[in-house]
Amino acid sequence: MVTPSHATAAARLVEVIAQGPKEGQPPSSADLDQAKGIAREIAARDDTGQMILALAIGLHRARQLELAAPYAETAAARLDTPAAHLNFGDLLLAVAESQSDPNQARTVLTRAIAEYDVVLKSQPNSVEAVNNKAWILLTPHFGQTQKALDMVLALRQRVSAAALPGEFYDTLGAIQESAGQTSAAEQSYLEGLKKAPKHPVLNFHFGKLIANDRSRAVKARSHLNTALAAGDRLSPPMAREAVRLVGLLDQEKGGR
């Protein structure tokens, strides 16, 4: 019988081996081979899909997306639970965000939406499924700002504010900003920062939003630097933009 403790141990084992010796340093080929071997052995003995799901989660946390993908897909098909479909959707979203080819990214994002839709059929108030599907709809690959906004606003009406994490307000703010609702976006970002003061993307979005306001340049720089301090938790495009904005703010400070 597979217990939660067994699944947790499996996920943690492959995560530790596959993530590398130190943060920011890639694992050696020997470590990756070891992680692959352990994962294959565990998956071969799993008839339920629970351990396979745990392997997908561990490899995802280790940022080994290509290794995690087949396990996540198998778990979603075998278990057919909201949790398994949500995990697969999240992995597909991460894979898409790492793609340089827009067409490939859109294809993967379309698959992610399908996984989130499966979750929402049985759990319409799944905050993560709504949040991530809305985020995808907002991207240039789809550009469905109004549909994304309607989704998150409807969820906010149905769910207690205490159940909404900082990430939700970040998504809401980004959608509002895209829709030209700047004041509402700022309030959403601030609401999110109350819940997650160090959240890199929230800090990036808020810092970027107020960067053009000279009276708040110091505050903008502080939030952008907080975002950059999170290292690879900030996507490469966001990191580049944050560095650019901090540089501009520093130039303006030096010029005064």
- Per-residue pLDDT reduced to its tens digit, 72-130: 999 999 999 999 999 999 999 999 988 889 999 999 999 999 999 999 999 999 999 99
Cα dist from 201 to 10, 67, 113, 171, 236, whole Å? 30, 26, 21, 10, 12
- The answer to whether position 121 is within a domain reads no
> Alpha-carbon distance 228 to 231, whole Å?
6
Q: Is residue 227 part of a domain?
A: yes
For residue 155, what is the enclosing H or E element?
helix 145-158
Whether the pLDDT of residue 221 is over 80: the answer is yes
Of residues 60 and 16, more confidently modeled: 60
Q: Give the pLDDT confidence score for residue 7 in this predicted structure.
A: 61
- The pTM of the full predicted model, rounded to 2 decimals, is 0.86
Domain count, the chain: 2
**Closest Cα to residue 51, out of 80, 72, 34?**
72
Range of the domain at 4: 1-21+28-64
Separation CA 204–CA 231 (nearest Å) = 12
User: Which of 182, 181, 202, 184 lies closest to 193 in space, CA to CA?
Assistant: 202
Query: Is residue 256 assigned to a domain?
Result: yes
Phi-psi map region of 21: left, alpha, beta (phi>0 left; psi -120 to 50 alpha) = alpha
